[in-house]
């Protein structure tokens, strides 16, 4: 099994273009509707790594890109639950290759398929002036630790005896707190002003802050 073979995951990405554009809807809604409405209320003072006063839209774009990667990483493990229900997982189990190698080969295309969504979002109108520097686009393809964490936690949950529907419900209970309870939407100093407990939770959350 080699990197040249795209496998079912890669081929599904090429054939299911509606899923590609569907995954961009949520972050674009946040950007165009929520961020535009909050522009006049929330300005973000100078905080690292920024060197000047920035608009709220510019602050939220990395977090929304992280949303695509985070949600995609966890939802990709739904495909493993589906494979288990359909019996396709057994084909992997009886392969002579070591299982860690099979897991790596199935995970890497998933990460690389998420990255074009992230890049398309960064290039979309509205985020165009807030997009990353050129090196940032290249870094989107790195299977960063948070994507791996997200997929790994999804795989751990999918190992339980669950149907795909049950898994999707658990997935949502996990995805939303991981994204919202973080520095992705608001700077931490602003959260601390309203709640110290929430500030500590957001500070300790490793996901979107680290991704962005």
Partner 1 sequence: MNGADATAAALELDGVGFDYPGRRVLEDVSFSVPAGVFCVLLGANGAGKTTLFSLITRLFLCRSGQIRILGRDVRHEAQRSLSQLGVVFQQPTLDLDLTVRQNLRYYCALQGLPTAICGSRATTPWALWGCSSVPTTRRASSAADSAGAWSCWRAMLHRPACCWRTSHRGLDIHSRQAIVQQVRDSCSQDGGRRALATHLVDEVRLEDQVVVIHRGRVLAQGRAAKILADTGSATVHDAFTALTGGPDG
- The answer to whether the bond into 212 is cis (omega within 30° of 0) is no
Taking the complex as a whole, how short is the minimal distance between the CB of residue 90 and partner 1, in angstroms? Answer: 6
List the one residue out of 12, 53, 3, 57 whose CA is nearest residue 30.
57
Residue whose structure tokens are 């493993």: 80
Residues 57-86: x where in contact with partner 1 by CB under 8 A, - otherwise, as a string: -----------------------------x
Q: Which residue in 25, 41, 46, 94 binds partner 1 (CB under 8 A)?
A: 94
Is the CA virtual torsion 91, 92, 93, 94 positive or negative? positive
Note whether 90 binds partner 1 by CB under 8 A: yes
Taking the complex as a whole, how short is the minimal distance between the CB of residue 22 and partner 1, in angstroms? Answer: 16
Binders of partner 1 among residues 101 to 160 (CB under 8 A) are: 102
The DSSP string of 2-49 is: -TT--HHHHHHHHH-HHHHHHHHHHHHHIIIIIIHHHTTT-EE---TT
Give SS3 for 205.
coil
Provide the Cα torsion 81, 82, 88, 91; round to 10°: -20
Note whether 91 binds partner 1 by CB under 8 A: yes
Instruction: Please give the radius of gyration of the chain, using alpha carbons only, rounded to the nearest integer.
Output: 18
Note whether 17 binds partner 1 by CB under 8 A: no
Taking the complex as a whole, how short is the minimal distance between the CB of residue 87 and partner 1, in angstroms? Answer: 3
Taking the complex as a whole, how short is the minimal distance between the CB of residue 20 and partner 1, in angstroms? Answer: 15
Q: Which residue in 87, 125, 133, 134 binds partner 1 (CB under 8 A)?
A: 87
Taking the complex as a whole, how short is the minimal distance between the CB of residue 157 and partner 1, in angstroms? Answer: 21
Which of the ranges 2-10, 20-28, 149-157, 171-179 carries the binding residues for partner 1, by CB under 8 A?
2-10
């Amino acid at each position: 099994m080699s990197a040249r073979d795209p496998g079912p995951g890669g081929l599904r990405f090429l054939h299911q273009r509606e899923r590609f554009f569907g995954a961009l809807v949520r972050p674009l809604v946040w950007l165009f509707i929520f961020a535009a409405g909050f522009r006049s209320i929330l300005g973000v003072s100078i905080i690292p790594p920024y060197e000047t006063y920035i608009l709220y839209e510019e602050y939220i774009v990395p977090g929304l890109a992280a949303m695509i990667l985070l949600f995609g990483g966890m939802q990709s493990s739904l495909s493993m639950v589906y494979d288990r229900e359909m019996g396709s997982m057994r084909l992997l189990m009886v392969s002579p290759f070591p299982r860690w190698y099979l897991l790596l080969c199935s995970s890497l295309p998933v990460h690389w398929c998420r990255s074009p969504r992230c890049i398309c979002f960064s290039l979309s109108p509205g985020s165009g002036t807030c997009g990353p520097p050129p090196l940032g686009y290249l870094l989107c393809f790195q299977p960063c630790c948070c994507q791996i964490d997200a997929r790994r936690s999804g795989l751990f949950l999918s190992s339980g005896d669950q149907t795909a529907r049950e898994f999707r419900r658990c997935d949502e209970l996990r995805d939303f707190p991981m994204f919202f309870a973080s520095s992705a939407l608001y700077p931490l100093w602003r959260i601390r002003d309203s709640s110290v407990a929430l500030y500590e939770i957001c500070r300790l959350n490793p996901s979107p802050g680290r991704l962005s």
